[in-house]
Amino acid sequence: MWAAGALAQAEQVFRQALSRDPGYAGAASNLGMVLAGQARMDEAVDALRRAVGIDPRHAGARTNLAAILRQGGAIPEAVEHLREALALDPGNRTARANLIRPLMELCDWDAVASVVATLREECAAGLEDWADAIAPFESQVLPFTPEFQLRVGQHYSARYALEAEQGPRIPHRPATPADAGRRLRIGYLSSDFHEHATAHLSAGLYEAHDRKQFEILAYSIGRGEAGEYRQRIVSGCDAFHDVAGLPAGDIAQQIARDGVDILVDMAGFAGGGRPQIPALRPAPLQVSFLGYPGTMGADFMDYLVADHVVVPEDQECWYAEKLVFMPGSYQVNDGGQAIAGTTPTRASLGLPDEAFVFCCFNQLYKMEPETFGAWMRILKAVPGSVLWLQAGHPAAEQRLRLVAVATGVDPARLVFAPYARKPEHLARHAHAGLFLDTHAVNAHTTASDALWAGVPLLTWPGDTFSSRVAASILHAIGLAECVMPDLPAYEARAIALARDPQALETLRRRLNENRLTQPLFDTKTYVKALEAAYRRMWTDHCRGLAPASFDVS
């Protein structure tokens, strides 16, 4: 019931169990998670605290409480509960896997390295169920190999596929060559049809589709909050279905009843994703797109939208899906984003009046010690410069300041930017001179934001999808020379540009020219290419051909 997504029914079952036995910690813990699944977070925390109060030695209740506390921003307390769970049950791999993300969010790099080292040892020892020790998303954003990421995805996808065997059978009407040219129904499945990075990128996608050739349906499995991004997406679709509270089987059956030809999963294993739905095969063709930065390792996903930069030829073997190579970047962007007309003053932003400003507006969990060490050397090489970062948990900010002190940098040279609405956030980029990217997991939406706002960006890619996104974006805007081969070159280039205002201004002028002439922000052309990809997938399907990788011309 709960696994199938019937949350309201599951809630009643657990409440009844507690009414019969108020001391049943397991029921209180499960109730908390069911409430969280319905976005009733305060009630969820209350139920989970009740579970821990009933039985302080219940490691599972502590692990569940930590997960919800982390989502609510109480990250240090989440870490405390996870460490207590591991003290109670040292073999609890779920607790250890859940510990990685909050430690990353706190920039506790030594602790992250310790957990990852233990995981590597277990893998090397051939632990049979080693993949349980890390969640798929964390495997994508830590410096693991593409092969390791594939194996983690396969492990979790196999679970969903096995669950799907117990779900409803969903037949599809056989397609024939005569169906190849008809109008197609495209279903977009996402948990992020609201104020979220995925919506920032894709808001212009839905409305740009050719309605003579495609009917666009959206299935929202996330929060139903109102706002300009949600409204724009709703307006851009032919039909918008809020199905967040429904069981996976019911959602899959609705998608099938709606006659969706190609289901596009925009969440995957990322936060809010529900792989249970595509695992039930509600559409004849299923595509992974945009929201999850890598392979799902799933037999039930036919294609992954990529490009030749994020997935080089020598890495293609580590993807379970067939690859659709877009002509520019795989990442769709909205070429109509508004930038606020008023630029805030430096003083109002906490920035010195005359300093050169390096920036990185990635979430703090993306920071890593090697790159941060390079940033500190860059600051020392450019006197008076500052590093402008996205605000995070105060404990993480304090830890970064302490690292700065340890490297001989005045912690006052780190400036943290609070949340701002997108137009205002884009406007404040006017004070940044150069965006410095992180490595293991790049700037994705934040890279596009910087470039749209006219700020050049430097990156040095790795071997994985998530570590090559900024390189993909830079190629698509005609600034491949900003993709550095290694960390020393990245560091040297940043210093050289900061010391040479004329060279930086030349780069900035090229960026501003390319914004409107290169493919990256040409939403309409991107959508035409994506539609060509959908048509190619469908035509091959109608001809009875198995999915195969291809380039979109």
| pLDDT, tens digit, 9 for 90 and up, residues 271-306 | 889 999 999 999 999 999 999 999 999 999 999 999
Question: How far is residue 463's CA from residue 82's CA, in Å, rounded to a whole number?
Answer: 31
Segment 214-239 shows an average pLDDT of 94
pTM above 0.85, yes or no: yes
Domain assignment present for 340: no
pLDDT tens by residue, 322-349 = 999 999 999 999 999 999 999 999 999 9
Q: What is the mean pLDDT of the chain?
A: 95
Closest alpha carbon to 120 in 143, 137, 136, 101: 143
Q: Which residues pair with 360 in a beta bridge?
A: 389
User: What are the tokens at 472?
Assistant: 């993909």
Q: Please, are residues 108 and 100 in contact by the beta-carbon 8 Å criterion? A: no
pLDDT over 90 at 143, yes or no: no
Is residue 189 located within the same domain as residue 280? yes
Find the CATH number of the domain harbouring 208.
3.40.50.11380
Q: What are phi and psi of 18, to 5 degrees?
A: -70, -30
Residue 3 is predicted with a pLDDT of: 59
Give residue 194's Cα distance to chain centre: 14
Is residue 534 located within the same domain as residue 516? no
Residue 5 is predicted with a pLDDT of: 59
Residue 390's alpha-carbon distances to 320, 414, 458, in angstroms, are 34, 10, 17
Is residue 546 located within the same domain as residue 506? no
Residue 128 is predicted with a pLDDT of: 55
Is residue 306 located within the same domain as residue 384? no
Domain boundary among 104, 134, 164: 134
Is residue 310 located within the same domain as residue 410? no
Domain count for the chain = 3
Q: Please, are residues 156 and 292 in contact by the beta-carbon 8 Å criterion? A: no
pLDDT tens by residue, 161-182 = 999 999 898 998 899 999 999 9
Segment 28-56 shows an average pLDDT of 94
Segment 477-481 shows an average pLDDT of 98
In terms of pLDDT, which residue wins out, 7 or 465? 465
Mapped onto helix, strand or coil, the DSSP state of residue 514 is helix
Which residue matches tokens 């830590």? 142
Question: How far is residue 292's CA from residue 296's CA, in Å, rounded to a whole number?
Answer: 8
Question: How far is residue 365's CA from residue 109's CA, in Å, rounded to a whole number?
Answer: 10
pLDDT over 90 at 201, yes or no: yes
Domain assignment present for 297: yes
Q: What percent of the chain has pLDDT over 90?
A: 87
Question: How far is residue 246's CA from residue 37's CA, in Å, rounded to a whole number?
Answer: 11
pLDDT tens by residue, 64-88 = 999 999 999 999 999 999 999 999 9
Domain assignment present for 532: yes
Is residue 510 located within the same domain as residue 537? no
Is residue 329 located within the same domain as residue 364? no
Domain assignment present for 223: yes
Find the CATH number of the domain harbouring 43.
1.25.40.10
Q: Cα angle at 179 between 177 and 180, to 5 degrees?
A: 70
Domain boundary among 118, 134, 150: 134
Question: How far is residue 40's CA from residue 171's CA, in Å, rounded to a whole number?
Answer: 35
User: What are the tokens at 61?
Assistant: 């209740």
Q: Please, are residues 547 and 537 in contact by the beta-carbon 8 Å criterion? A: yes
Order the strands of the 550-551 sheet from edge to edge.
239-242, 214-220, 184-190, 262-265, 285-288, 303-306, 322-325, 550-551
Find the CATH number of the domain harbouring 479.
3.40.50.2000
pLDDT category of residue 2 using cuts at 50, 70 and 90: low
Is residue 508 located within the same domain as residue 528? no
Is residue 330 located within the same domain as residue 356? no
pLDDT category of residue 7 using cuts at 50, 70 and 90: confident
Residue 115 is predicted with a pLDDT of: 85
pLDDT category of residue 416 using cuts at 50, 70 and 90: very high
Domain assignment present for 171: no
Burial category of 478 from C-beta neighbours within 10 Å (exposed 0-12, middle 13-18, buried 19 and up): middle
pLDDT category of residue 481 using cuts at 50, 70 and 90: very high
Residue 119 is predicted with a pLDDT of: 80
Residue 163 is predicted with a pLDDT of: 92
Closest alpha carbon to 551 in 539, 538, 533: 533
Domain boundary among 76, 106, 134: 134
Segment 29-51 shows an average pLDDT of 93
Question: How far is residue 536's CA from residue 213's CA, in Å, rounded to a whole number?
Answer: 13
Q: Could you list the residue range(s) of the whole structural domain that residue 425 is in?
A: 346-521
Kind plus residue range of the DSSP H or E element containing 88? helix 75-88
Is residue 318 located within the same domain as residue 182? yes
pLDDT category of residue 4 using cuts at 50, 70 and 90: low
Domain assignment present for 415: yes
Question: How far is residue 216's CA from residue 231's CA, in Å, rounded to a whole number?
Answer: 15
Is residue 381 located within the same domain as residue 490? yes
Is residue 530 located within the same domain as residue 515? no
Q: Please, are residues 149 and 259 in contact by the beta-carbon 8 Å criterion? A: no
pLDDT tens by residue, 526-541 = 999 999 999 999 999 9
Domain assignment present for 352: yes
Domain assignment present for 148: no
Residue 128's alpha-carbon distances to 119, 124, 201, in angstroms, are 13, 11, 39
